[in-house]
Structure 1
């Protein structure tokens, strides 16, 4: 039963992103801004830091492919980005202590990196005509705000749960 906890939690975070978008208010003010929940990426980063790099990368490939199939029209964008971000996060965390504040800060940095990467791919293939200034104002900042609020609420319980899970396995 304990071995199914991590896959179950992964699916919960994967589904929670689409639920968040469905439940987000659809008022006129919210229509000009794009709030992109990156709960799955945050979860993958926490798994990478508090469980193992291998778990983070494997879940990154699996859920990156699933993310591409379900949410995007281009296969491979997230399947490449999620495990690469997990790998880089594991390398970066060798320089820092695995403190929750550091992990949250790195999560925000990697959300920014992912958003810029996806924007760059979309710009490269001609799927968007948005300038970088518009992207920064109407997508990146609101996305960082939403994910910072998510981290504020869920980071500590998520860390505690993952650390307990690792201690039980050892």
Structure 2
């Protein structure tokens, strides 16, 4: 009985999170569908709709709501962490510069963050520092991509 109650609670919170994040998911879904004739490929991974071979934008990936857009052919890659990118710019010690994280898990962390914060996510993300190694959301996503734990930012 307890296990079925937990499954029901998880399902309800999953639906509630999806509805809460819908203002972010809907425009991303429209962009993804517009890219379909230009070679975009669709798949799912957990709560994410993954759009690979997206024909526009930067080379990495962008998660907003439950949609991840990426120009890459797959998210199953190890990429430099934000901390490693920052260390390379500052010419820091080699071990930090060589740190890699799993791109798909990094983006999954952002999707989970968006499911909790919904339409507030972009504002919280920007207030936390935008696209940088100082951003708590990016540090949490990198931590989750390395270890599988801790997708929520530490305050």
TM-score (normalised: structure 2): 0.33
Greater relative CO (CA pairs within 8 A, separation 6+): 1
TM-score (normalised: structure 1): 0.30
